[in-house]
Amino acid sequence: MAEREIVRRPPGRRAQILAAAVGLFHRHGYHQVSMAEVAAEVGITAPALYRHFRGKPELLRCAVESELAVLGEAVRRGADGPDGLCAALAAAAIEHRALGTLWQREARLLQPGQQALLRRQLRGQVAQMARVVGGPAVVGAEFRCWSLLSVYGSLSHHTFAPSRRRFERLLRQLGAALLTAEELPGRGALEAVGPGGVPVGSRREELLAAAVRLFDTRGFDNVSTERLGAAVGIAGPSVYKHFATKTGLLAAALVRSRERLWHEVGGALADASSPGDALSAGLTGYLDFARRNSHYLGAMLRETERLAPPDRKAALDFRRDFLRTWVDLLRQLRPEYDRAEARIRVHAMFALVNDGVRHRSGGVEPAPGLETLSRAVLGL
C-alpha cells in the first residue's frame, strides 16, 4: 500500500490571509467583502481559508489585532524619546495605512468584550507613548499622543503618496509640531458643548437625529428599524412612513448634516477678507460644529459606502470639494506647500478634530486644546 502523501500548508499562509483581509476591509468595508474574495486574493479556495479562520468575524478580530500589534511594536521601537517615537510611528503609518480605517470603522463590529479588550490595549499603548514624550512634565501629554495617532491614522484616507523619504519627513515634522505646540495666549481648556445633531422639531427630524447617532455608534447593519423606532418612541414599521428604506434614512441624515456643515463653516470661509482670516474663522467654525455634531462626522466617515451609488457619489463629491477649499486657502497662505503637502496637512487636521471631540477627558479638552493642535498641524 502506497504511503499517503502529506499535504503541507505554505509557511506564512495565515499571515498572507490576514494581510489580504486587512487590505480588502480597508478598501471596501467589512460587509462588502466575502470570505471567498479573501481566499481569491490569497490564491486559495474558501474551504482552505476556513482551516485558518472559523468565519469572517474571527478574521476581522485577528485583522484588527494584527494592525494594533504593528502599532505596539512601533511604540516599543520609539521608546528612546519623542523624535524616535515620531519616526517609528511615521514609518508604521506609511506601511500600514489600513490601521486607521480598521480601528475607526470596522472595530465597532466586534463583540463588546473584544472591543473592550482592544480599547484597553490601545489605551495602554497611548499611556506608554505619553511617558516617552515626557509624561506629566508635558502639558496634555496623553491628549497629544491621541492626536498624534489621529494625524498618522489620517493616511488611511489618502490614495496617493509622495516619495517615501519626503512622506516620512513630513510626518515626523507634524508629530514634532503636535508634541511641542504651546497653548494659544488667552485660550485655555474649552468646556465641552452639549450633544448636538440634526435640529429636532418633528418626528421625521427626530428620526434623522437618532439615525445619525445610532449608525455612528453601532454601525449601519447593526441598527434595526425596531431600534430606530424605539429611539423616537414609535414602532419599527412606522419608520417607513417617513423613509422608504433604511438606506434612504441614512442618505437623508447625511444630506441634512452636510447642509448644516456647509452653512456654518462654508459661510465663515467665504466671508473672510484674506486666506489667513478664512482659515482661522473656518477652523473656529469647524471646531464648534464638530463638538456639537460628532455623531454626524462619525457616520459620514464610517457609513458612506453603505449609501446607494448616486447618494455615495454626492457625499464623496461634497467631501472632496470641502477639502479642496481648505487646501487652496492653505496654499495661498503657505505658498511653500505644494498640493500634496497641503492635502496631507488638511486631512491630518480634520482627523485630529474629528477624533479629538471624542477623546475629551471628563468632557473638557486639556490645554493645549484642539484649536492649538490643529493650527500646529496646518503650520499656522
Tell me whether residue 348 is in a domain. no
pTM: 0.84
Contact 82, 133 (CB under 8 A): yes
pLDDT tens by residue, 200-250: 458 888 999 999 999 888 888 889 999 999 999 998 888 888 999 999 999
Question: Residues 80, 175: one domain?
Answer: yes
> Worst-scoring range by mean pLDDT, 35-49, 187-201, 240-254, 285-299?
187-201
Q: What is the pLDDT of residue 364?
A: 53
Range of the domain at 114: 13-180
Question: Residues 148, 274: one domain?
Answer: no
Residues 86-94, mean pLDDT to the nearest whole number:
92
Question: Residues 292, 148: one domain?
Answer: no
Tell me whether residue 7 is in a domain. no
Question: Residues 219, 360: one domain?
Answer: yes
Question: Residues 32, 119: one domain?
Answer: yes
Residues sharing a CB contact under 8 Å with residue 237, sequence separation 6 or more, in sequence order: 225, 229
Domain count, the chain: 2
pLDDT band at 69 (very low <50, low <70, confident <90, very high): very high
Tell me whether residue 190 is in a domain. no
Contact 347, 154 (CB under 8 A): yes
- DSSP state for residue 365 in the 8-state scheme: P
